Amino acid sequence: MKKLKSKFHKLTPQERLYQYDRPIVAITGGIATGKSTVTRMLEQKGLQIIDADQLVKSIYSLQETRNYIQTEFPEVWENNEINFIKLRALFFQNQKVKESIEAYLYKRLPDAFQKAARQVLDQDFYLYDVPLLFERNLHQQVDLTIVVYAPENIQLARLIDRDQMKQDAAIRILKAQMDIEEKKGLADFVINNSGTLVELAAEIDSLLLQIID
């Protein structure tokens, strides 16, 4: 059983996200900081992670969600499926659509989280991968926050290389997000992912020694 050090059990169940008895450790980052690499390495060390993006995908797979999308936004329903490219475009172009879909998803997230939480058997805490942790003020409802960090110039270079996009487009994406330096300043712990994979592994080992008994 992997146990979070008692000093990091900071919240009561009433204060905690979804009112769980177990503490919640949230991990976040920014685009192209390497959060997916970090979570994969954590899983390789035997840690179980609840992924917010996967929870949303599980909600979209429900028949009731398919019915909701087909009824409310028929323009994105094609060949008996959701066209997610069109849905994303509509989501970001229309504030009412954005609010409607967000309200729908957030209403169902507690149940999706609960189903995932039941699968976490060898930890006395939940490790929650949340891209919009600070943007949604969810950091106030978790016991510990971890930011995967890389400075903006490295984010930019990685984004251009990874997605084969032009520099001005990559800059626009970065500027549309919460600044990584601000996230770093808000975090309880920072995993610096601006170097090599060997250096990143050392950062992760150091973090685990500090937070897990």
Domain parsing of the chain, residue ranges: 1-48+120-213, 53-119
The more confidently predicted of residues 101 and 169 is 101
Q: How far apart are CA 29 and CA 36, in angstroms?
A: 9
Contacts (Cβ under 8 Å, ≥6 apart) of 204 = 38, 41, 42, 45, 191
Q: How far apart are CA 191 and CA 202, in angstroms?
A: 10
- What pLDDT is stored for residue 166 in this prediction? 81
Res. 204 pLDDT band, cuts 50 70 90: very high
Answer left, alpha or beta for residue 195, where phi above 0 means left and psi between -120 and 50 means alpha. beta
Amino acid at residue number 30: G
Instruction: Fold for 1-48+120-213, please state it.
Output: Rossmann fold (3.40.50)
Res. 82 pLDDT band, cuts 50 70 90: very high
- What pLDDT is stored for residue 68 in this prediction? 96
Q: Taking the model in full, what pTM does it have?
A: 0.89
Over range 87-105, report the average pLDDT.
89
Q: How far apart are CA 112 and CA 115, in angstroms?
A: 5
Q: Compute the chain's Rg from CA coordinates.
A: 18
Res. 164 pLDDT band, cuts 50 70 90: confident
Query: Is a pLDDT exceeding 90 seen at residue 93?
Result: no
Q: How far apart are CA 57 and CA 181, in angstroms?
A: 29
- In the chain, DSSP finds a helix count (H) and a strand count (E) of 9, 7
**Helices 95-117 and 52-60 sit at what angle, rounded to 10 degrees?**
110
Res. 205 pLDDT band, cuts 50 70 90: very high
Lowest-confidence segment of 26-30, 89-93, 107-111 by average pLDDT: 89-93
Query: Is a pLDDT exceeding 90 seen at residue 156?
Result: no
- What pLDDT is stored for residue 15 in this prediction? 97
The sign of the CA dihedral 146, 21, 3, 122 is: negative
CB count, 10 Å around CB of 112? 19
**Each residue of 112-142: pLDDT tens digit?**
999 999 999 999 999 999 999 999 999 999 9
- What pLDDT is stored for residue 118 in this prediction? 95
Query: Is a pLDDT exceeding 80 seen at residue 95?
Result: yes
Short-list 208, 206, 154, 207, CA closest to 180 = 154
> Contact, 52 vs 131, CB < 8 A?
yes
Contacts (Cβ under 8 Å, ≥6 apart) of 116 = 50, 54, 55
Query: Is a pLDDT exceeding 80 seen at residue 176?
Result: no
**Each residue of 38-75: pLDDT tens digit?**
999 999 999 999 999 999 999 999 999 999 999 999 99
Phi, psi of 27 (to 5 degrees): -120, 135
Burial of 108 (0-12, 13-18, 19+ CB in 10 A): middle
